[in-house]
Amino acid sequence: MMDPARIQEIIESKLADCTALIHNDMGDGEHFAAEVVSSDFDGLNLIRQHQLVYGALGDHMKSDIHALSLKTFTPAQWAQRA
């Protein structure tokens, strides 16, 4: 079991200028979806962007997080989206 707020805290603390929105729509504390914005993503392809997020979460990905559906945005992409 993992608290969405804890996931948010970990990701935001490890990536630059980062905002992370975490959803646990099933309410099970294991299957999450996240939208993550960070300037660290600038110039990286999607694989490298997702690897940064997975890397930030480290062993949580092997233990208490069963699934994490990811969408990553650079600050510029996020601004355009709204």
Partner 1 sequence: MSDVKTRIDELVKTNKVVLFMKGNPQMPQCGFSARAATILTHLGVAEFAHVDVLSDPEIRQGIKEYSNWPTIPQLYINGEFLGGSDIMMEQYQNGELAAQLQD
Closest CB 61 distance from partner 1, rounded Å: 4
Closest CB 39 distance from partner 1, rounded Å: 20
Q: Identify the CA nearest to 11 among candidates 24, 26, 21, 2.
A: 21
Task: Report the distance separating Cα 12 and Cα 31, nearest Å.
Answer: 19
Q: List residues near partner 1 by CB under 8 A.
A: 46-47, 50-51, 54, 61-62, 67-71
- CB-nearer residue toward partner 1: 12 or 73: 73
Rounded to the nearest angstrom, the gap between the alpha carbon of residue 39 and the centroid of all alpha carbons in its chain is 13
- CB-nearer residue toward partner 1: 14 or 71: 71
